[in-house]
A and B are shown apart, each in its own frame.
With several copies, the nearest count.
Chain A
Amino acid sequence: MKVLYFAWVRQKVGAAEEDVSPPPEVRDVAGLIAWLATRSPGHAAAFADARQLRAAVNQEFAPPDAPVAPGDEVAFFPPVTGG
Protein backbone atom coordinates (compact mmCIF):
# COMPACT_ATOMS: atom_id res chain seq x y z
CA MET A 1 0.00 0.00 0.00
CA LYS A 2 1.36 3.38 -1.01
CA VAL A 3 0.85 6.17 1.51
CA LEU A 4 1.34 9.85 0.58
CA TYR A 5 1.66 12.82 2.90
CA PHE A 6 1.14 16.48 2.09
CA ALA A 7 1.76 19.88 3.74
CA TRP A 8 2.40 19.73 7.49
CA VAL A 9 1.52 16.05 7.62
CA ARG A 10 4.44 15.45 5.27
CA GLN A 11 6.68 17.67 7.38
CA LYS A 12 5.79 15.94 10.65
CA VAL A 13 6.12 12.43 9.23
CA GLY A 14 9.37 13.46 7.58
CA ALA A 15 8.58 11.80 4.26
CA ALA A 16 6.40 12.53 1.24
CA GLU A 17 5.51 8.88 0.70
CA GLU A 18 6.17 5.39 1.90
CA ASP A 19 5.20 1.84 1.06
CA VAL A 20 3.59 0.09 3.99
CA SER A 21 2.08 -3.31 4.66
CA PRO A 22 -0.40 -2.89 7.50
CA PRO A 23 -1.72 -6.01 9.20
CA PRO A 24 -5.00 -7.45 7.91
CA GLU A 25 -7.03 -5.96 10.79
CA VAL A 26 -6.40 -2.50 9.25
CA ARG A 27 -9.48 -2.27 7.06
CA ASP A 28 -10.36 1.41 6.80
CA VAL A 29 -8.88 4.90 6.86
CA ALA A 30 -9.38 5.28 10.61
CA GLY A 31 -7.66 1.96 11.25
CA LEU A 32 -4.79 2.94 8.99
CA ILE A 33 -4.35 6.22 10.87
CA ALA A 34 -4.19 4.39 14.21
CA TRP A 35 -1.64 1.94 12.84
CA LEU A 36 0.52 4.56 11.07
CA ALA A 37 0.65 6.66 14.27
CA THR A 38 2.69 3.89 15.93
CA ARG A 39 5.44 3.90 13.32
CA SER A 40 7.56 6.78 14.68
CA PRO A 41 7.33 9.85 16.90
CA GLY A 42 6.93 11.89 13.72
CA HIS A 43 4.00 9.76 12.62
CA ALA A 44 2.51 10.05 16.10
CA ALA A 45 2.73 13.85 15.93
CA ALA A 46 1.25 13.96 12.43
CA PHE A 47 -1.68 11.74 13.36
CA ALA A 48 -2.25 13.06 16.90
CA ASP A 49 -5.44 14.92 16.03
CA ALA A 50 -7.53 13.07 13.45
CA ARG A 51 -9.95 16.01 13.25
CA GLN A 52 -7.20 18.03 11.56
CA LEU A 53 -6.64 15.34 8.94
CA ARG A 54 -8.26 14.58 5.66
CA ALA A 55 -7.68 11.51 3.53
CA ALA A 56 -7.95 10.35 -0.03
CA VAL A 57 -8.09 6.75 -1.21
CA ASN A 58 -7.01 6.23 -4.80
CA GLN A 59 -7.12 10.00 -5.37
CA GLU A 60 -10.69 10.45 -4.11
CA PHE A 61 -11.52 12.18 -0.84
CA ALA A 62 -12.40 9.47 1.67
CA PRO A 63 -14.09 9.49 5.11
CA PRO A 64 -12.63 7.63 8.15
CA ASP A 65 -14.76 4.55 7.45
CA ALA A 66 -13.68 4.26 3.83
CA PRO A 67 -12.12 0.83 3.19
CA VAL A 68 -8.42 0.49 2.40
CA ALA A 69 -6.77 -2.56 0.88
CA PRO A 70 -3.34 -3.67 -0.36
CA GLY A 71 -2.50 -1.91 -3.60
CA ASP A 72 -4.42 1.22 -2.70
CA GLU A 73 -2.89 4.69 -2.82
CA VAL A 74 -3.86 6.44 0.40
CA ALA A 75 -3.02 10.09 1.10
CA PHE A 76 -3.19 12.13 4.30
CA PHE A 77 -3.21 15.92 4.45
CA PRO A 78 -4.71 18.94 6.20
CA PRO A 79 -7.99 20.41 4.92
CA VAL A 80 -7.32 21.74 1.43
CA THR A 81 -6.91 25.43 0.61
CA GLY A 82 -7.26 25.69 -3.14
CA GLY A 83 -8.29 28.67 -5.17
Chain B
Amino acid sequence: MPVVPRVLVQEAPFDMGAETAALFAGRADVGGLASFLGICRGDGGLVAMTLEHYPGMTERALRRIAEEACARWPLTGCTVIHRHGRLVPGDPIVLVLTASAHRVAALDSCAFLIDWLKTKAPFWKSEEFAGGTTRWVEAKAEDDEAAARWGR
Protein backbone atom coordinates (compact mmCIF):
# COMPACT_ATOMS: atom_id res chain seq x y z
CA MET B 1 0.00 0.00 0.00
CA PRO B 2 1.41 3.38 -0.94
CA VAL B 3 2.85 5.51 1.82
CA VAL B 4 1.00 8.66 2.87
CA PRO B 5 3.05 11.69 1.79
CA ARG B 6 3.80 14.61 4.08
CA VAL B 7 2.67 17.79 2.31
CA LEU B 8 3.07 21.31 3.66
CA VAL B 9 2.32 24.74 2.19
CA GLN B 10 3.75 27.43 4.41
CA GLU B 11 5.30 30.86 4.59
CA ALA B 12 7.86 29.83 7.20
CA PRO B 13 11.27 28.28 6.45
CA PHE B 14 11.62 24.52 6.78
CA ASP B 15 14.30 22.38 8.38
CA MET B 16 15.71 20.17 5.64
CA GLY B 17 17.91 18.20 8.05
CA ALA B 18 15.00 17.32 10.32
CA GLU B 19 12.74 16.49 7.37
CA THR B 20 15.42 14.22 5.91
CA ALA B 21 16.12 12.45 9.20
CA ALA B 22 12.39 11.85 9.71
CA LEU B 23 12.33 9.68 6.57
CA PHE B 24 14.96 7.17 7.67
CA ALA B 25 15.82 7.55 11.35
CA GLY B 26 15.18 4.40 13.33
CA ARG B 27 14.28 2.23 10.37
CA ALA B 28 16.16 -0.32 8.29
CA ASP B 29 14.14 -0.46 5.07
CA VAL B 30 15.34 2.77 3.43
CA GLY B 31 18.25 2.33 1.05
CA GLY B 32 18.14 5.61 -0.83
CA LEU B 33 16.86 9.07 -0.15
CA ALA B 34 16.75 11.63 -2.94
CA SER B 35 16.01 15.27 -2.48
CA PHE B 36 15.59 18.45 -4.41
CA LEU B 37 15.81 21.87 -2.85
CA GLY B 38 14.65 24.81 -4.98
CA ILE B 39 16.25 28.11 -4.02
CA CYS B 40 15.51 31.73 -4.97
CA ARG B 41 18.19 33.08 -7.31
CA GLY B 42 19.23 36.73 -7.61
CA ASP B 43 19.63 36.93 -11.37
CA GLY B 44 19.56 40.28 -13.16
CA GLY B 45 19.23 42.40 -10.05
CA LEU B 46 16.35 40.44 -8.54
CA VAL B 47 15.92 41.56 -4.94
CA ALA B 48 12.87 39.50 -3.99
CA MET B 49 10.30 37.07 -5.30
CA THR B 50 6.75 36.86 -3.99
CA LEU B 51 4.93 33.57 -4.39
CA GLU B 52 1.17 33.86 -4.60
CA HIS B 53 -0.86 30.68 -4.32
CA TYR B 54 -4.41 29.42 -4.20
CA PRO B 55 -5.12 28.41 -0.60
CA GLY B 56 -7.08 25.21 -0.51
CA MET B 57 -6.36 24.19 -4.08
CA THR B 58 -2.61 24.35 -3.47
CA GLU B 59 -2.69 21.79 -0.67
CA ARG B 60 -5.04 19.61 -2.69
CA ALA B 61 -2.88 19.78 -5.84
CA LEU B 62 0.35 19.10 -3.95
CA ARG B 63 -1.20 16.17 -2.15
CA ARG B 64 -2.46 14.72 -5.42
CA ILE B 65 0.98 15.11 -7.07
CA ALA B 66 2.72 13.48 -4.09
CA GLU B 67 0.18 10.66 -4.01
CA GLU B 68 0.81 10.07 -7.69
CA ALA B 69 4.54 9.63 -6.94
CA CYS B 70 3.75 7.24 -4.10
CA ALA B 71 1.51 5.22 -6.43
CA ARG B 72 4.04 5.08 -9.27
CA TRP B 73 7.12 4.18 -7.23
CA PRO B 74 7.62 1.91 -4.20
CA LEU B 75 8.43 4.73 -1.80
CA THR B 76 8.91 4.32 1.92
CA GLY B 77 8.47 8.05 2.45
CA CYS B 78 7.74 11.26 0.56
CA THR B 79 7.78 14.87 1.74
CA VAL B 80 6.83 17.97 -0.24
CA ILE B 81 7.11 21.42 1.35
CA HIS B 82 6.36 24.52 -0.71
CA ARG B 83 6.70 28.02 0.63
CA HIS B 84 4.72 31.10 -0.35
CA GLY B 85 5.10 34.80 0.43
CA ARG B 86 8.08 37.05 -0.10
CA LEU B 87 11.48 35.41 -0.46
CA VAL B 88 14.91 36.87 -1.14
CA PRO B 89 17.83 35.38 -3.08
CA GLY B 90 19.28 32.41 -1.21
CA ASP B 91 15.97 31.53 0.44
CA PRO B 92 14.76 27.95 -0.05
CA ILE B 93 11.41 27.80 -1.89
CA VAL B 94 10.56 24.14 -2.21
CA LEU B 95 11.77 20.84 -0.78
CA VAL B 96 11.05 17.43 -2.26
CA LEU B 97 12.23 14.30 -0.43
CA THR B 98 11.69 10.74 -1.59
CA ALA B 99 12.86 7.60 0.16
CA SER B 100 12.84 4.04 -1.10
CA ALA B 101 14.61 0.71 -0.66
CA HIS B 102 16.44 1.36 -3.94
CA ARG B 103 18.01 4.41 -5.49
CA VAL B 104 16.24 4.42 -8.86
CA ALA B 105 12.78 4.79 -7.31
CA ALA B 106 13.98 7.60 -5.06
CA LEU B 107 15.80 9.51 -7.81
CA ASP B 108 13.11 9.11 -10.47
CA SER B 109 10.22 10.02 -8.19
CA CYS B 110 12.10 13.09 -6.95
CA ALA B 111 12.62 14.31 -10.53
CA PHE B 112 8.98 13.53 -11.32
CA LEU B 113 7.73 15.51 -8.34
CA ILE B 114 9.65 18.65 -9.14
CA ASP B 115 8.65 18.45 -12.82
CA TRP B 116 4.98 18.15 -11.91
CA LEU B 117 5.15 20.85 -9.25
CA LYS B 118 6.42 23.26 -11.90
CA THR B 119 3.35 22.80 -14.09
CA LYS B 120 0.58 21.54 -11.80
CA ALA B 121 0.94 23.40 -8.51
CA PRO B 122 -1.05 26.68 -8.37
CA PHE B 123 1.74 29.13 -7.57
CA TRP B 124 2.62 32.35 -9.35
CA LYS B 125 5.87 34.21 -8.90
CA SER B 126 6.23 37.96 -8.98
CA GLU B 127 9.82 39.12 -9.31
CA GLU B 128 10.95 42.40 -7.80
CA PHE B 129 14.07 44.10 -9.14
CA ALA B 130 16.43 46.76 -7.89
CA GLY B 131 14.79 50.01 -8.91
CA GLY B 132 11.35 48.78 -8.04
CA THR B 133 10.13 47.16 -11.25
CA THR B 134 8.17 43.94 -10.88
CA ARG B 135 7.40 41.15 -13.33
CA TRP B 136 5.33 37.97 -13.27
CA VAL B 137 7.38 34.89 -14.09
CA GLU B 138 6.00 33.24 -17.21
CA ALA B 139 5.48 29.51 -17.52
CA LYS B 140 8.18 27.86 -19.65
CA ALA B 141 7.53 25.51 -22.57
CA GLU B 142 10.50 23.42 -21.39
CA ASP B 143 8.74 22.86 -18.06
CA ASP B 144 5.66 21.60 -19.90
CA GLU B 145 7.87 19.24 -21.86
CA ALA B 146 9.64 18.02 -18.72
CA ALA B 147 6.28 17.34 -17.05
CA ALA B 148 4.93 15.62 -20.17
CA ARG B 149 7.70 13.01 -20.24
CA TRP B 150 6.07 11.39 -17.19
CA GLY B 151 2.79 10.93 -19.11
CA ARG B 152 -0.72 11.93 -18.17
Min CB gap A72→B, angstroms: 13
**A-B pairs under 8 A by CB, number:** 68
Residues on B with beta carbons closer than 8 Å to the beta carbon of A77: 54, 122, 124
Residues on A with beta carbons closer than 8 Å to the beta carbon of B139: 78-81
Residues on A with beta carbons closer than 8 Å to the beta carbon of B82: 82-83
Q: Decide: A80 and B136 in contact? CB cutoff 8 A.
A: no
Q: Decide: A81 and B54 in contact? CB cutoff 8 A.
A: no
Q: Decide: B121 and A80 in contact? CB cutoff 8 A.
A: yes
A60–B143 alpha-carbon span in the complex (Å)? 20
Check: B7 CB closer than 8 A to any chain A CB. no
Min CB gap B5→A, angstroms: 16
Question: Contacting A83 at CB < 8 Å: which of B54, B56, B94, B126?
Answer: B94
Q: A32-77: which have CB < 8 Å to B? A: 56, 59-61, 75, 77
Give the size category of B's interface with A: 20 to 34
Check: B118 CB closer than 8 A to any chain A CB. yes
Min CB gap B15→A, angstroms: 20
Q: Decide: B124 and A59 in contact? CB cutoff 8 A.
A: no
Residues on A with beta carbons closer than 8 Å to the beta carbon of B117: 82-83
A83–B119 alpha-carbon span in the complex (Å)? 8
Known contacts: A7-B52, A7-B136. The answer to whether A81 contacts B125 by CB under 8 A is yes
List, sorted by A's number, 9 A–B pairs whose CB atoms are closer than 8 Å.
A7-B124, A77-B54, A78-B136, A79-B119, A80-B139, A81-B118, A81-B123, A81-B139, A81-B143
Residues of B within 8 A of A (CB): 38, 52, 54, 56-57, 60-61, 82, 93-94, 103, 114, 117-126, 136-139, 143
